[in-house]
């Protein structure tokens, strides 16, 4: 099963470090880095705001534990967002490319 994993990062430098590590390890076929997002969330009993960078990681579900390990080893947050969503359908040549990239 193919998945897209979302991870928010503190800054561009951190996002690049994580993205490159995931692709180099073949845990991810592709990582999109989406800059300048504004997050509003509960943290330690209050509403907090943060400017962050979002990673959209394309991979396979069977790689999720490896992705979590790599993200946690490089991430500055105590509790990083790591959310996997299944890809219900897609362009077959692209999905095949994901598979080929992860071998």
Looking at residue 25, what DSSP letter applies? T
Q: CA dist 20 to 25, 48, 49, 71, Å?
A: 8, 29, 27, 11
The whole-number pLDDT of residue 73 equals: 98
- Cα–Cα distance for residue pair 14/51, rounded to 1 Å: 13
* pLDDT single digits (tens) 5-31: 999 999 999 999 999 999 999 999 999
* Domain segments of the chain as ranges: 2-101
Full-model pTM: 0.95
The whole-number pLDDT of residue 80 equals: 97
* pLDDT single digits (tens) 57-99: 999 999 999 999 999 999 999 999 999 999 999 999 999 999 9
Residue 34: phi and psi, rounded to 5, are: -110, 110
- Cα–Cα distance for residue pair 67/83, rounded to 1 Å: 11
CATH of the domain spanning 2-101: 3.30.70.120
């Amino acid at each position: 099963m193919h998945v897209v994993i979302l991870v928010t990062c503190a800054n561009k430098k951190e996002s690049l470090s994580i993205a490159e590590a995931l692709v180099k390890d073949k845990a991810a076929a592709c990582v999109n880095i989406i800059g300048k997002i504004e997050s509003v969330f509960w943290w330690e009993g209050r509403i907090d705001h943060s400017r962050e960078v979002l990673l959209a990681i394309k991979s396979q579900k069977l790689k999720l534990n490896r992705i979590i390990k790599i993200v946690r080893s490089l991430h500055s947050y105590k509790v990083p967002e790591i959310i996997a969503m299944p890809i219900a359908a897609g362009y077959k040549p692209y999905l095949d490319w994901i598979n080929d990239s992860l071998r």
